[in-house]
Amino acid sequence: MNTTEQSNPNPVTRRNFLRMSGSIVAGGAIASLSGVLMKNSLAGETDYFWQIDPTKCTYCGRCETNCVLSISAVKCVHTHKVCGYCDLCGGYYRTNVKDLNTAAENMRCPTGAIKRVYVEDPYFEYTIDESLCIGCGKCAKGCNSFGNGSLYMQVKQDLCKNCNECKISKVCPSNAIQRVPYAKAYILKD
């Protein structure tokens, strides 16, 4: 121990010197990194929200089961302007049902979230009860296969936790879930 101190009279100074040069390198790194990143961040519009592009969505049903929330933040939305107000609705009834009544076995929606209201002959209005919707996409698939496609899936931004990386986007077979800017937080049909 003594020999070490004799042969190296100023160990603290050397350590301090190393530390100081380290500080300078680290400070420079922080300054340049924040400069580059700031430039990047302010250059383009930040895409902040996750949203489903309804033109790409294939209604595979993975939104229901892959969201980090126990009940998915993805819900079915309905654009009434696109809807045909059909009596025989592909999103409301299952295919090949025997009797057109509201018995559970005839319903497309597993939770009964679609409300059907008579408007005038022969039109019926359909609305989604969001509190019941689980985002399985069955009605949207039916509507897009047999109807106008007025039912489709969207991420509800008030429910979405806005994960740094959306878990559903990683399992989406058609890459339909992308980041969107604030102005396009919902991609709606019209």
Partner 1 sequence: MKRILSIITILFLGFLASTTTYAQDRFPRPDFESGYQYPATHYAIPNETLWLFVDVFLLVLMMGIVAWAVIRKRTRKPVFWVSVISVAYFGFFRSGCVCSIGSVQNVALALADKSYTIPLAALLFFILPILFTFLFGRVFCAGVCPMGALQELVNVKNYRIPRSVSAVLGIFPWIYLFLAILYAITRTGFIICRFDPFIGIFRLSGDIGLLIFGALLLLVAVFTGRPFCRFMCPYGALLNLFSRVSIWRAKITPSCINCELCHKACPVDAIRAPYNNKVKESRVQGVKRVLLYTIFLPVMVTVAALMMRSMSDSISRANNDVRLYDMVQGEATPKDHPVPELESFYGAGGTVVELKERVDVILADFKLYATFAGGLIGLVIGLTLLGLSVKRSRKSYEMDDAQCVNCARCFSYCPQNKIIENKIQ
| Cα→Cα distances 157→39, 147, 182, 185, Å | 28, 27, 10, 7
Contact positions with partner 1 (CB under 8 A) in 111-170? 119-120, 123, 125, 127, 144, 146-149, 154, 156-158, 161-165, 167, 170
Binding segment (CB under 8 A) for partner 1, from list 55-63, 96-104, 108-116, 133-141: 55-63
Structure tokens at 55: 């033109």
Q: How far is the CB of 104 from partner 1 (least distance, A)?
A: 26
The reply on whether position 30 binds partner 1 by CB under 8 A is yes
Q: Which of 25, 94, 101, 102 binds partner 1 (CB under 8 A)?
A: 25
The reply on whether position 87 binds partner 1 by CB under 8 A is no
The reply on whether position 4 binds partner 1 by CB under 8 A is yes
**Between residues 82 and 97, which has the closer beta carbon with respect to partner 1?**
82
Q: Write the DSSP assignment of the chain as a string of letters.
A: -HHHHHH-S-HHHHHHHHHHHHHHHHHHHHHHHHHHHHHHHHHS----EEEE-TTT----SHHHHHSSSSS-SEEEEE-TTT----SS-TTTBPTT-SS-S--GGGBS-TT--EEEEEEETTEEEEEE-TTT-----HHHHHHHHHS---EEEEE-TTT----SS-HHHHH-TT--EEEE-GGGSS----
Q: Which of 32, 45, 65, 94 binds partner 1 (CB under 8 A)?
A: 45
Span between the terminal Cα atoms of the chain, in Å:
82
The reply on whether position 79 binds partner 1 by CB under 8 A is yes
Q: How far is the CB of 98 from partner 1 (least distance, A)?
A: 23
Q: How far is the CB of 147 from partner 1 (least distance, A)?
A: 6
**Between residues 44 and 105, which has the closer beta carbon with respect to partner 1?**
44
Q: Which of 16, 32, 80, 103 binds partner 1 (CB under 8 A)?
A: 80
Binding segment (CB under 8 A) for partner 1, from list 47-55, 92-100, 103-111, 134-142: 47-55
Q: Which of 14, 81, 94, 115 binds partner 1 (CB under 8 A)?
A: 81
